[in-house]
Chains A and B, each alone.
Chain A
Amino acid sequence: MATIDVVRGGERERHGIGWSGLTLQKMLADSERRFAETGFYAGLDRLELKECDPIGYEKIFSRVRGGLVSARETALNISASPIVRELGELCFALYTPEGDSVALSTGIIVHVHTMSSAIKYMVRNGWEDNPRIRPGDIFANNQPTIGGVHNADVQTFVPIFWEDELIAWAGGVCHVMDIGAATPGGAPVGPTTRYEDGIDLTCTKIGEEDTIAAWHWKRCELMSRSPKSYILDERTRLAGCHMIRDTVERLILDEGVGRVKTFMREAIEDGRRGFKARVRAMTVPGRYRSPGFLDVTFADKETLPARARRDFLMHGAYEARIGEDGHFTVDFDGSSAWGWHSMNATPSGVTGLMWIQFTQTLIFDDKVNDGAHFATTVVAPEGTWANLDKDECSTSGAWGILFPAYSGYPRSLARALQSRGFIEEVVGSFSTPGNVMQGGGIDQYGQMSGFMHFEVGAQGQGAKYVLDGLDYGAAPFNPEGDMGDAEMWELMAPLLYLGRRVKPNTGGLGRHRGGSSFESAYLVWGTENYELQNILTGAVFSSPGLFGGYPAATSYVHTIYGADLLDRAGRGEAYPVRDGDFEAPEFLEIEGDRVHRQDALTMLRAVRTGDVYVSVMKGAGGIGDPLLRSVEAVQRDLDEGHLLPRFSESVYGISDRDAVRRRRLESVRSVSDWWAEQRERVLAQDLIDAVRVMYAESMRLSPRWAAEFRGFWDLPEDFEFDILTPTVRAPASVPGKVTPAEACAEYLAGARAHQPPGDAAQPGPAHSGGVTAETLGDLLDERLGRRQVKAIQSGPKDLDRFDKWVAVLQERVHYDDPIVLPFGEGLNIVRQRQDGELVIRTDAGADLCRWDENWKMHAALRVRDTTESMRELYPAMAHPDPEWMELREFHCPLSGHLLEVEAVPPGHPVVHEYLPDITGFYEGWLGRELPR
């Protein structure tokens, strides 16, 4: 029963279905008000159940989470989609009546909060009265403006009632094979408005009495190109939700409904506190910046409407601010505008990706739930790609921009973790998964079908501080990366694997290499009428390096229509089974109508039996100066096919590293020289349109970004890019100018790192585990085996790691001045004994600048802005056109140590990546004075 009508005093009074007869709207409003007033979730300043019965509390938690994990493991067997069954793109969670998650299973955790948004949407919009929420009801949503990333992620909700009271919601979500969009697949590239995004479920009630309505089945059958797979996925989600409902009902029977409700509230507040404690223990308060970019090349795509046919660069302006009592803010202010393409996102999707990142890094072993949501803020400014100001935008390819935009997260967090000494946790930028091959048509069974290849679920992982990145095994969207068997994928589409091989030079080079990826080559087989497209074969760097490591390679498209491969094979001749070397692809020897070029996106094009399609995947960014990579490791890279031989010399200088360092110091220049020169270029707007339009959008959407841009280049207060930005409402940017020093000072003045009131100076004591200073030194010097590293990663984190870390580093540097804050590989913030200044010092002893300045402005710079200079590092077809993006290398002026590599479009200000709130860190978080 949704609402209970009670006759009272002759009048009918409607009682809500929420706890204690409240309406869901009232519950949500109360919860939000209490949080706003007290800063505690639901106003819980004490966790009574947890404090009085810590064991009983944990028992309930383990039961709820166990129920969710087992629901997922059981339900995924029902699916017909390898995306769900083989690659695990499925996730379940339990929510409070007003939509806050209490616990979740493994899987695509991105959706824990997107489903929360959907439930809150139903609550806010009065679903309780219309269409009403009753026991046995089934709701479905995939509408990203309500809650989600793109339509292909379909959500199912089941309300859990106990004696007329809505106790909780079970929610399940998975990525479907084909969503019935204008073009086939799950993340179609063609749509330019949301009317082309496919099946649209707006928190729709699709069933009652535990049964999905016949009309819904019929609709799915009519609207998806892969109806079988769609229908079985629907059953998978529903079966899982029902299992969760059973778990909760049994829990209530055993524990009592009151205790379960108390638990649900406390678990979220507990999650909030645990998250903040973790942030305070493992990071440094401060401002972190790491932008990411996506190239969109639509100018030559004739099938698109005229308004969509343009080339442009999208700007993902990532800024993280960590402070207060451990609050984490991710801010996309300064990002580009939404546009007539599918790579737009919603705040729900933007929040979702943050969730994946948190759960894979900071809070993997804690209570993962919406508590973290209450400890974080996501700023997605209206009008940007992150928050459309028009409902008509397509979001089907939202991941396209979300990945590069969020590549800032791992890089920023890595800086904080490195400062605190948690080097075993430092992982550089993930690869941005692609090529995402999709298609459809008449398949090998003679039936119409749609298809999305998910072997992108196993790309390179970012390089680690203490190891190379995991090769072909990771995906930013799912912690459990996998690529599936060829014999499974060949069931799904009329494509025969010619090969699946490690792709050399995909991973970013560095002291530690970013994870490599692979390429798959296909022979179209068993169809006369199929179509294929490419997405995220980006031609600009999207997985940047860190601490001197280089970005991962870009990608390319290689398709041969009417290929003569079958003829050759029939004559008994050898034929290629891979492209291999980017620069000398083996398929060049196959004749036919060839498309071979760098192109971020291609439209559907017909293929038939005999055609060849190459799918090149991407690796991840490297970490550290490549000259510090051991010669043995370089040899291993050559043996295992990760590196093309010619780069062992040009990048790693294996025969004479000193010579490379000398050459570096000869080819560098001062940043101020370069700045003056570039300033003229910016003033003259001497940039390609695709880049100018990006700056114009960022400036028109964000007065702050515009002012900082002008401040960096010392431009007139009313400087403006002279180019049209058709999807931005403001015709021009707001005048203004802020120098970098002013911006830093303003941030630091407002930073207020502190311990939460009522909380002791530190989290509870830890008496066991953790690493000794000696082990930490061994870890740093890479004297530990893989197993030992894993044990440290999985083991408990020591609370005094920072002090051990500083001691370990102090012992290794050649100066006596005390290290106050480790500041990246080869850099420390040091207290100068002679004048008491805090400066940023390289390991070779160069004092670059004051601690709160951007040290890069004082380093020795080399810019690679020509094809020739890029080719020293990357083969042809593996790097961007320098008009779109350049590489800036910042070295120690004394030693030539490569400290940081920046991959940005020409004209971009030098990024000030890390501005620590150093006083707040010591006084607010560590509870002691800054070292004198």
Chain B
Amino acid sequence: MPGAQRTPRVLAVDAGGTMTDTFIVDETGEFVVGKAQSTPEDEAEGLLSSAVDALRQWDTTPAQAFPQIVSGVFSGTAMLNRLLTRSGLNVGVIVTAGHEDILQMERGIQTYLGYSYADRLHVATHHHNEPLVPRNQVLGVRGRIDLMGAEALPLREGEAREAAQQLLDAGVDAICVCLLYAYRNPAHELRVGEILAEEKAARGLNGDLPVFLSSEFYPSRREFPRLNSTVIEAYAAEPSRATLRRVRERTAAYGAGFELRVMAAHGGTVSIDSKQLATTLVSGPIGGVIGAGWLAERLGARNVICTDIGGTSFDIGLITDGRHELDATPDVARFLLSSPNVLIDSVGAGTGSYVRFDPFARRPEVSPDSAGARIGVCWPEGGVDTVTVTDLNLILGRLNPDYFLGGDIDLDVERARREVARQLAEPLNLGVEAAAAGILELFESSLRNEATGRVLGKGYSPVDYTLLCYGGGGPLHVAGYTEGVPYAEVLVPAWAAGFSAFGCACADFELRLDRTVDLPLLPVHPPEQRVAMAGLIEATWAALRESVAAEFAKSGFGEDDLRFTHAVRMQYYGQLIDIELDSPVSTLQTQENLEALISAFNAAYRSTYARSAPSPELGYLVTQAIVRGSVDVEKPRLPTFDEVPGTPPLKGGREVWWRDGFVWTDVYEMDQVLPGHAIQGPAVIEAPATTFAIPPGRQAWLDRHQIFHLETR
């Protein structure tokens, strides 16, 4: 269908570190994927080039297409880069007096966050992060709220004023305030906020210098993650707002009239004008899980395990009963955060992972560190001299040296073979291919354990789950890491390499706000009293609904357009970890409704920690009240084509080492596989951005939705 007759409806962009992927869907559900080099200095450039690349496939242009698009989602890395390169705003911080060293001391856990098993034990490697705010710009103010929310020590307003003046004199760009127990009672923080406003006004700085109160942005228990989130909001998110506005302006210049939204860590998309923008710090990987959830719903799968292999890591997400899990105390870039993230376990094992022989233990080892974009010894220009997983794939014939990234990069198979022989095969006393194949098996078996471990850890069995594989490196290893595991199905979307961008397009326009309430419901409380006490949750929900509505009003939505979900975080009284559940009822004014919430919690607890007995005898603590508000947005439709029987045309063939020897293997081009086609292993399906390996004994067929089903014959 020529471009002029198409109606593009949804645009989703994943601007990654190296490539920007664009995913555009039309009203029939057909889609195109575009790719372009990322442009970190001005992400709008990469977005446009990538959109041009995508739309070219439909013979159209942004100027023609953008006015027709009704929904646009952007996911970038600018904010994360600002954090990683420590190039954010100059921030000042006001904390409770006596805690001025908090950012310098950080939590001990941040000195080894993200480390491998070995390095967590290996204490010599632990080190502190460079603080986001210099020590002399963290000032204290006396005054204390206690854990019940009562004032223990009065706020010394004069100190707040001095602190404000000192920070303004220092020329900071933004000021954060995080006082102990402000989530419980924000009175002191609000007063400090007023004083800051007065001092700013005295200098004619009205509105120019943003102030971030922790109680307003991230009102949750634990001061350190709360402070981190608040500081990141000022340090990295605030300047990114300008970047995002520039992206919006550039698309508007092409006639785009849609609201540009950003993927947030809780799994919904938010407006770029959203207050809590730091929740969009990591979005690409989240997009993958959301896309998987969307797909699962359409395919009728309740439980899905999402797996994504990139150059450096293997990411696992879980969708159970149609819901992804949330991590309430997540960490990003070695910072503990206060706002929940879609739970993704990242294991340091990717296609660029180094493979070494440990001379002391005399064993091969796939290391947690990786060559990343430098590929392996097979690419001399990359300067890598340690063998990587990609080198192993190459010498076994599973990768095509002449078609890596579509042939843009030449790989040196002989060099790889020489190095594998020298570094691994000889010390292991094995043949070169046997060593390479064995180590890949070890690699894939550890991925297999990680994936099944996630399922089993929840008390489920793999037969209850559909495994979905995406990411550039996923299709190459999916057969290996699903071998022998009885997953309900193993699915590989044909657009696996652009799946994260696709996922962003699938997300709801949804804002999530939460607030700590810490309401105990104990065995000693009679039922009537419990219901009266639950009024606190009601009231908090109402306040949160109001804030959500106010945020949506910025995007022109009225209350009638909004759909609200009421949720809580809850635990057995005395425990430290709570779990999140959507409330089955939206009001708690009756005993039945409150009981319904408690039963839902007990059920959710059992499914989270299947093997441990719930402890209802302790009573309950509702730690947080949560409201999610969403509005309808246009989403992709699942493409549907007619299935044609047969096999795709053969692209060629080569010798590929599978289990214990070379086998002549057919090679296909992914573009030429049509819905209905089935391919028997051994086979390799190649695309510029990915390679799908089908070993002997397995087969894959493409369904009418462009999804491969990997099966055992």
Binding site for B on A (CB under 8 A): 50, 54-55, 57-59, 62-63, 65-67, 69-70, 74-75, 77-82, 85-86, 106, 109, 228-229, 231-232, 235-236, 238-239, 242-243, 246, 250, 254, 270, 274, 277-278, 281, 359-361, 364-368, 424-425, 427, 444, 457-458, 461, 464, 467, 470-474, 479-488, 490-491, 496-502, 518, 521, 523, 525-526, 566, 569-570, 572, 574-575, 577-578, 639-641, 762-769, 786, 790-791, 793-797, 799
**A587: min CB distance to chain B, Å:** 12
Contact B574 A472 (CB under 8 A): no
Given the complex, which residues of A lie within 8 Å of B118, measured CB to CB?
364-365, 794
**A443: min CB distance to chain B, Å:** 11
| Contacts known (A54-B438, A55-B438, A518-B101); A424 close to B360, Cβ less than 8 A | no
Given the complex, which residues of A lie within 8 Å of B221, measured CB to CB?
487-488
| Contacts known (A62-B445, A239-B611, A473-B108); A497 close to B453, Cβ less than 8 A | no
Docked pose: A65 CA to B117 CA in angstroms: 10
| Contacts known (A278-B360, A473-B111); A499 close to B457, Cβ less than 8 A | no
Docked pose: A496 CA to B361 CA in angstroms: 50
**B641: min CB distance to chain A, Å:** 39
Closest A residue to B575 by beta carbon equals A80
**Residue from B105, B222, B357, B442 within 8 A of A55 (CB atoms):** B442
**Residue from A236, A461, A473, A501 within 8 A of B101 (CB atoms):** A501
Closest A residue to B386 by beta carbon equals A768
**Residue from B109, B142, B609, B612 within 8 A of A569 (CB atoms):** B142
**Residue from A85, A228, A246, A479 within 8 A of B121 (CB atoms):** A479
Contact A458 B108 (CB under 8 A): yes
Contact B99 A486 (CB under 8 A): yes
**Residue from B97, B108, B572 within 8 A of A483 (CB atoms):** B108
Between-chain CB contacts (< 8 Å), 9 pairs:
A75-B612, A77-B577, A364-B118, A464-B124, A485-B107, A523-B144, A641-B101, A766-B357, A769-B386
11 new A-B contacts at CB < 8 Å, known A59-B442, A65-B117, A487-B147: A232-B574, A361-B123, A364-B122, A365-B122, A458-B108, A490-B146, A521-B98, A523-B153, A763-B359, A765-B359, A768-B386
**A437: min CB distance to chain B, Å:** 16
Contact B109 A480 (CB under 8 A): yes
Judged by a CB distance under 8 angstroms, whether B369 is at the interface is: yes
**A354: min CB distance to chain B, Å:** 15
Given the complex, which residues of A lie within 8 Å of B127, measured CB to CB?
467, 470, 786, 790
**A147: min CB distance to chain B, Å:** 22
Docked pose: A500 CA to B354 CA in angstroms: 42
Judged by a CB distance under 8 angstroms, whether B56 is at the interface is: no
Judged by a CB distance under 8 angstroms, whether B441 is at the interface is: yes
Judged by a CB distance under 8 angstroms, whether B615 is at the interface is: yes
Contact B123 A427 (CB under 8 A): yes
Docked pose: A185 CA to B538 CA in angstroms: 39
Docked pose: A82 CA to B108 CA in angstroms: 14
**Residue from A55, A250, A501, A768 within 8 A of B441 (CB atoms):** A55
| Contacts known (A487-B223, A578-B98); A523 close to B369, Cβ less than 8 A | no
Contact string, B607-619, partner A, CB cutoff 8 A, digits 1/0?
0010111010010
Closest A residue to B369 by beta carbon equals A794
Given the complex, which residues of B lie within 8 Å of A488, measured CB to CB?
221-222, 576
Binding site for A on B (CB under 8 A): 97-102, 104-105, 107-109, 111-112, 116-128, 135, 140, 142, 144, 146-148, 152-154, 156, 159, 180-181, 221-225, 354, 356-364, 369, 385-387, 422-423, 426-428, 430, 438-439, 441-442, 445-446, 449-450, 453, 456-457, 484, 572-577, 609, 611-613, 615, 618
The 7 closest A-B pairs by CB, nearest first: A499-B98, A577-B98, A482-B108, A365-B118, A458-B108, A55-B438, A239-B612
**A463: min CB distance to chain B, Å:** 11
| Contacts known (A239-B609, A484-B107); A85 close to B146, Cβ less than 8 A | no
Docked pose: A367 CA to B363 CA in angstroms: 10
Docked pose: A446 CA to B480 CA in angstroms: 58
Contact B576 A526 (CB under 8 A): no
Docked pose: A526 CA to B125 CA in angstroms: 41
| Contacts known (A500-B101, A521-B98); A106 close to B120, Cβ less than 8 A | yes
| Contacts known (A235-B615, A274-B361); A501 close to B100, Cβ less than 8 A | yes
**Residue from A85, A109, A473 within 8 A of B126 (CB atoms):** A473
Closest B residue to A78 by beta carbon equals B612
Given the complex, which residues of B lie within 8 Å of A639, measured CB to CB?
135
Contact A764 B357 (CB under 8 A): yes
Contact B356 A481 (CB under 8 A): no
Closest A residue to B454 by beta carbon equals A70
Given the complex, which residues of A lie within 8 Å of B222, measured CB to CB?
485, 487-488
Contact B100 A486 (CB under 8 A): no
Docked pose: A106 CA to B618 CA in angstroms: 29
Q: Which of A74, A78, A231, A497 has the most CB of B within 10 A?
A: A78
Contact A577 B142 (CB under 8 A): yes
Contact A570 B105 (CB under 8 A): no
**Residue from B99, B125, B386, B438 within 8 A of A794 (CB atoms):** B125
Docked pose: A70 CA to B449 CA in angstroms: 11
Docked pose: A884 CA to B65 CA in angstroms: 84
Docked pose: A81 CA to B575 CA in angstroms: 7
Q: Which of A63, A250, A458, A764 has the most CB of B within 10 A?
A: A764
Given the complex, which residues of A lie within 8 Å of B450, measured CB to CB?
66
Docked pose: A238 CA to B611 CA in angstroms: 9
Given the complex, which residues of B lie within 8 Å of A793, measured CB to CB?
122, 124-125
**Residue from B144, B387, B611 within 8 A of A243 (CB atoms):** B611
Contact A59 B427 (CB under 8 A): no
**Residue from B224, B360, B574 within 8 A of A229 (CB atoms):** B574
Docked pose: A764 CA to B361 CA in angstroms: 8
Contact B453 A502 (CB under 8 A): no
**Residue from A65, A480, A796 within 8 A of B356 (CB atoms):** A796
Docked pose: A793 CA to B127 CA in angstroms: 12
Given the complex, which residues of A lie within 8 Å of B362, measured CB to CB?
274, 763-764
**A925: min CB distance to chain B, Å:** 14
Given the complex, which residues of A lie within 8 Å of B439, measured CB to CB?
55
Docked pose: A796 CA to B356 CA in angstroms: 8
Contact A270 B361 (CB under 8 A): yes
**B16: min CB distance to chain A, Å:** 22
| Contacts known (A470-B128, A487-B223, A574-B142); A480 close to B112, Cβ less than 8 A | yes
Contact B146 A471 (CB under 8 A): no
**Residue from B126, B358, B577 within 8 A of A796 (CB atoms):** B358
Given the complex, which residues of A lie within 8 Å of B156, measured CB to CB?
572, 574
**B418: min CB distance to chain A, Å:** 11
Given the complex, which residues of A lie within 8 Å of B445, measured CB to CB?
59, 62-63
**Residue from A57, A82, A570, A799 within 8 A of B359 (CB atoms):** A799
Contact A480 B120 (CB under 8 A): yes
Contact A360 B575 (CB under 8 A): no
Closest B residue to A476 by beta carbon equals B123
Given the complex, which residues of A lie within 8 Å of B135, measured CB to CB?
639-641
Contact A78 B575 (CB under 8 A): yes
**Residue from B99, B125, B152, B385 within 8 A of A790 (CB atoms):** B125
**A559: min CB distance to chain B, Å:** 17
Contact B609 A74 (CB under 8 A): yes
Contact A474 B427 (CB under 8 A): no
**Residue from B125, B147, B453, B612 within 8 A of A66 (CB atoms):** B453
Contact B98 A54 (CB under 8 A): no
**Residue from A79, A575, A794 within 8 A of B142 (CB atoms):** A575
Docked pose: A848 CA to B314 CA in angstroms: 57
**A411: min CB distance to chain B, Å:** 15
**B661: min CB distance to chain A, Å:** 16
Docked pose: A793 CA to B123 CA in angstroms: 10
Given the complex, which residues of A lie within 8 Å of B457, measured CB to CB?
70, 74, 243
Docked pose: A424 CA to B124 CA in angstroms: 8
Given the complex, which residues of B lie within 8 Å of A59, measured CB to CB?
441-442, 445-446
| Contacts known (A277-B360, A473-B111, A501-B98); A246 close to B126, Cβ less than 8 A | no
Docked pose: A364 CA to B124 CA in angstroms: 11
| Contacts known (A485-B223, A768-B356); A427 close to B613, Cβ less than 8 A | no
